[in-house]
Amino acid sequence: MDKNFVGFGFGPIQSALVGYEAQCSGNFSSLTIAEVDQGLVDSVRANDSTVHINIAHADRVEPADLTELQLLNPTVEADRPALAQAVREADELATAVPSVDFYEKGIAQTLAANIDDSKPRILYACENNNYAARHLNDAIAKSGSLPANFQILNTVIGKMSGVIADCATIEELGLVRMTPGSDKAVLVEAFNAIQIDRIRLDGFARGIPVFEEKADLLPFEEAKLFGHNAIHALLGYLAAERGYSAMSDIAADSELLEIGRTAFIDECGAALIGKYAGTGDELFTPPGFRDYAEDLLIRMHNPFLQDAVARICRDPQRKLSWDDRLVGTMHLALTQGVEPLKMARGVLAALRFRQPDTEITASGVEATLREIWGTSGDGHADRIIQLVQSWVG
């Protein structure tokens, strides 16, 4: 194939997942990335249009390169014509920006102005939002019409990744920096089993073959949020309580790992299987979900990934909201007749992390959670509060 790829945003997902897999496929003749960090753009251009990344395996870190990149800054007038031309010629595109709020800060307008019906094309929406494709469709509609042969795909990305800015960690792991002289290194795990929406464009063949299409992505989105993300947060907040700085520190803590395993399989897994067994997918069977959980538990404390506990624990207010990974998982479990006692322990740890200088009492649990939830919540709210209170003491 002779395809063209365009990405928006150049964080670890764009660089070390989508862009890297596009390059590895051998199906793309051009890789263009829109990035507003002019320092990064300049450093890549000065490095012969090459970016270095690091891939964490179970036993080592492997360096890799993205080469012949065209990085363009959409806020720079001189770069805009080339970006518009790249979008017009693109076959596959991807957004990987901090949130869907960034769609209306130039991305949707650029797509509306340059995507037409001349050929079929797809865009992978890689933001951590179950409705990212809908948000981008709506944003484009405000600036123009959406071509019939352009499909925006939701994604479920279970790949753990990050940018390492600590010089000591970079040196300790022997990481290659993004470019010579850069103070950052991209570090991602080798895992690349990513689910995407099923493509509905007749005759369209993807240039990035590793992604797996699903007719209904919602069950897998919920498995990510109420499985992977939920247990990552649970372990992160409990690790913070125990004074750990890296997720790899929990590898030697059998008690903590057992809490995570029980919560993952017997609470999250039982709830998700109860809700989605009817899909017929192996993931939503007891052995399939157990394999998924055991694999993730090992990946979460990969010593070569250097996943910081502080990163996992940031923004506890959001993670304690009614529909997010901690309380949302408890709510799902209760709707399926599962008692999420271990997840309740994670909620208490998150409350303590949120208010480190305050003793959390039973009455404080209720007051704080109801304040966070606001008008959200239903008949399970009282039971969730009771379960969290059962750990106070």
Q: Tell me the per-residue pLDDT of 97-156, one tens digit each, with 9 for 90 and over.
A: 999 999 999 999 999 999 999 999 999 999 989 899 999 999 999 988 888 999 999 999
DSSP letters, 279-294, are G--GGGSHHHHHHHHH
At residue 306, the pLDDT reads: 85
What backbone torsions phi and psi does residue 214 show, to the nearest 5 degrees? -130, 135
Instruction: Please give the full DSSP string across 196-230, using - where no structure is assigned.
Output: EEPP-STT---S-TTSEEES--HHHHHHIIIIIIH
Is the whole-model pTM more than 0.75?
yes
d(C-alpha 31, C-alpha 97), whole Å: 17
| Cβ contact 327:347 at 8 Å | yes
β-partners of residue 164 are 185
Q: Which two tokens stand for residue 121?
A: 């094309």
Q: Tell me which fold the domain 3-214 belongs to.
A: Rossmann fold (3.40.50)
Candidates 48, 27, 359, 63; CA nearest to 190 is 63
pLDDT at 224: 96
**How far is it, in rounded angstroms, from Cα 334 to Cα 340?**
7
Q: Of 201, 228, 138, 157, nearest to 14 (Cα)?
A: 157
Q: Which residues of the chain have pLDDT under 50?
A: none
Do β-strands 195-197 and 150-156 pair in parallel, antiparallel, or remain unpaired? antiparallel
Reduced to 3 states (helix: H, G, I; strand: E, B; else coil), residue 253 is: coil
Round to whole Å and give the CA distance between 232 and 156: 16
**363-371 long-range CB contacts below 8 Å, 24 or more apart?**
365/389, 365/392, 369/320, 369/327
CATH code for 218-389? 1.10.1040.10
Domain boundaries, the chain: 3-214, 218-389
Please report the pLDDT score of residue 1 as a whole number.
64
pLDDT tens across 321-371, in order?
Answer: 999 999 999 999 999 999 999 999 999 999 999 999 999 999 999 999 999
Angle between helices 341-354 and 254-262 (to 10 degrees): 120
Q: Where are the beta strands (DSSP E) in the chain?
A: 3-8, 28-34, 51-56, 61-66, 69-72, 92-95, 121-125, 150-156, 161-164, 185-189, 195-197, 212-214
pLDDT of residue 146: 83
Task: Look at residue 154 and give its three-state secondary structure.
Answer: strand
